[in-house]
Amino acid sequence: MIAAHPGSTRHRERSQACGRCQSAVALRLQICSFTARGDLRRHPQVVIPRRPHLSEFSTPDLQPNACRDKFAGNFNSDLLPKANGIPMELADLAAIGPWGHQHLLDLEKLTAAQLTTVLDLADQLSDATAGGRGRLDLLKGIVVANLFFENSTRTRTSFSLAARRLGADTVDFSPGSSSLSKGETFIDTAMTIEAMGIDLVVCRHRTPGAPHLLARQLRAGVLNAGDGTHEHPTQGLLDIYTIRRHRGRIAGLTVALVGDIRHSRVARSNIHGLVKLGARVIVCGPSTLVPQEIRQLGVEVAWNLDEILPEVDCVNLLRVQFERQRGAFFPSIAEYATLFGMNAERIRRARPELLVLAPGPINRGVELTPDVADGPHSVILDQVSNGLLIRMACLSLLVRERQLQGASR
């Protein structure tokens, strides 16, 4: 077991292949706060609280030397890392918190405890896979279909990688090359693909509720990878996870979601998750893009970014969804950038430890200026790496749930 480095201010995790068994093994390196690129930050890094590793439930030690020792000594196949992954059983996940969902369609239906289950599991997977770089065999034999009826690069790549890192097979589906262009309904397309023996369907669609319709039609578990302007649960989870990794908590923090709230699925998922976990959430944007009724979801509404900025711990800069808007919601991009864009001047007036998140893809010069995007407050790239862990966690939870339900049937 790797001991946490006492006194270290920051962990960096790296993977390295074991010379004998080819398994990815984690090395947790201590990196001096002032040498790592990301640590040229003004604010002090908080040490991530250590949680039980998944590896504590299974036998192999992650240290390369220990692995080698096993090969050298008594040969015990149970201890042998299988294939090139780590022999971890889904049953091991029983040790983690409550879940109980066959599908992951939105965060609105998750409880605080269930949200925490995902975040905690992501932490464990991070430890077990060296921050998502190593491989596990958690989902061996599972087939995950990526049904992206709407274009996406980052989310699809992230889901594919997450599935493969857990040993699952993936099939990708893109609407351009499919029967959809021949007039088949998306439900028929999904049922056809399911009939090929799919366990999980990751669905992105431009219409709110499309994954919900699939969930009613399919036996496979459905994971919503963004349904129009409704929700994007894994994005919400990874945003929240990124905040928790940097701050160690969610409760009591003030998070501002800035931009096109009306058309943002990311905003809705963030709102439901953050509010349940005890954060104060302020939504801020042009009054045409911030519906008044959103207050009833438990958030505050602001139209003036500069007024709220001093109170804010984290700001999540949502992309202006030009493609989803009907008509003009604000007069010009320049005016939007002036009123709501995050720039160096605003950063100066913000709290020194402000976290800047952006779900991406970012429009540089619109939601934020390049110096902010690449600056010390930005955790945008952390979000991307954390997305992998969150998606691994979600896939694992859904597969485990299927197995539990299958067992009880």
User: How many other C-beta atoms can be found within 10 angstroms of the C-beta atom of residue 171?
Assistant: 15
Q: Where are the beta strands (DSSP E) in 184-242?
A: 200-205, 221-227
> Buried (b) or exposed (e) across 55-89, using 16+ Cβ within 10 A?
bebbebbbebeebeebeeeeeeeebebbeebbbbe
User: How many other C-beta atoms can be found within 10 angstroms of the C-beta atom of residue 35?
Assistant: 10
205 forms part of the interface with other proteins (CB under 8 A): yes
Give yes or no: 246 in active site.
no
CA 379 to chain centre: 13
375 forms part of the interface with other proteins (CB under 8 A): no
* Amino acid letter for position 235: Q
Candidate residues 46, 171, 187, 333; the one interacting with other proteins per rule CB under 8 A:
187
Q: Give whichever of 99 and 186 is closer to other proteins, judged by the CB atom.
A: 186
Candidate residues 129, 170, 229, 378; the one interacting with other proteins per rule CB under 8 A:
229
Nearest one of 284, 275, 276 to 304, comparing CA atoms: 284
- CA 28, 373, 353, 259 torsion: positive or negative? negative
Candidate residues 61, 108, 150, 172; the one interacting with other proteins per rule CB under 8 A:
108
Q: Give whichever of 119 and 223 is closer to other proteins, judged by the CB atom.
A: 223
209 forms part of the interface with other proteins (CB under 8 A): yes
Element containing residue 148 per DSSP (H, E)? strand 143-148
Give yes or no: 204 in active site.
yes
39 forms part of the interface with other proteins (CB under 8 A): no
Candidate residues 99, 159, 173, 186; the one interacting with other proteins per rule CB under 8 A:
186
207 forms part of the interface with other proteins (CB under 8 A): yes
Distance of alpha carbon 89 from alpha carbon 344, whole angstroms: 48
Q: Give whichever of 69 and 188 is closer to other proteins, judged by the CB atom.
A: 188
Q: Give whichever of 167 and 211 is closer to other proteins, judged by the CB atom.
A: 211
Backbone angles phi, psi at 40, to 5 degrees: -80, 45
User: Quick check: 168 and 140 in contact, CB under 8 A?
Assistant: yes
Give yes or no: 155 in active site.
yes
319 forms part of the interface with other proteins (CB under 8 A): no
Region of 25-33, 111-119, 201-209, 397-405 interacting with other proteins (CB under 8 A): 201-209
Distance set, CA 72 to CA 20, 66, 82 (Å): 10, 10, 17
Q: Which of 11, 103, 230, 232 is catalytic?
A: 232
Distance of alpha carbon 235 from alpha carbon 264, whole angstroms: 11
227 forms part of the interface with other proteins (CB under 8 A): yes
Q: Give whichever of 103 and 377 is closer to other proteins, judged by the CB atom.
A: 103
Least distance between other proteins and beta carbon 224 (Å): 11
Least distance between other proteins and beta carbon 369 (Å): 29
Distance of alpha carbon 306 from alpha carbon 328, whole angstroms: 24
Least distance between other proteins and beta carbon 296 (Å): 5
- CA 236, 237, 242, 244 torsion: positive or negative? positive
Region of 80-88, 119-127, 207-215, 248-256 interacting with other proteins (CB under 8 A): 207-215
User: Quick check: 165 and 135 in contact, CB under 8 A?
Assistant: yes
Region of 205-213, 237-245, 305-313, 334-342 interacting with other proteins (CB under 8 A): 205-213
323 forms part of the interface with other proteins (CB under 8 A): no
Give yes or no: 20 in active site.
no
User: Quick check: 256 and 316 in contact, CB under 8 A?
Assistant: yes
Q: Give whichever of 205 and 280 is closer to other proteins, judged by the CB atom.
A: 205
Distance of alpha carbon 352 from alpha carbon 113, whole angstroms: 31
Give yes or no: 326 in active site.
no
Close Cβ partners of 307 (under 8 Å, ≥ 6 residues apart):
none
Distance of alpha carbon 218 from alpha carbon 105, whole angstroms: 13
Least distance between other proteins and beta carbon 234 (Å): 16
231 forms part of the interface with other proteins (CB under 8 A): yes
Number of residues that bind other proteins (CB under 8 A): 27
x/- map, 261-300, other proteins, by CB under 8 A: -xx-x--x----------------------x-xx-xx---
Q: Which of 37, 182, 326, 348 is catalytic?
A: 182
Residues classed as catalytic:
154-155, 182, 204, 232
Q: Rule CB under 8 A: which residues touch other proteins?
A: 108, 185-187, 205-210, 212-213, 227-231, 262-263, 265, 268, 291, 293-294, 296-297, 326
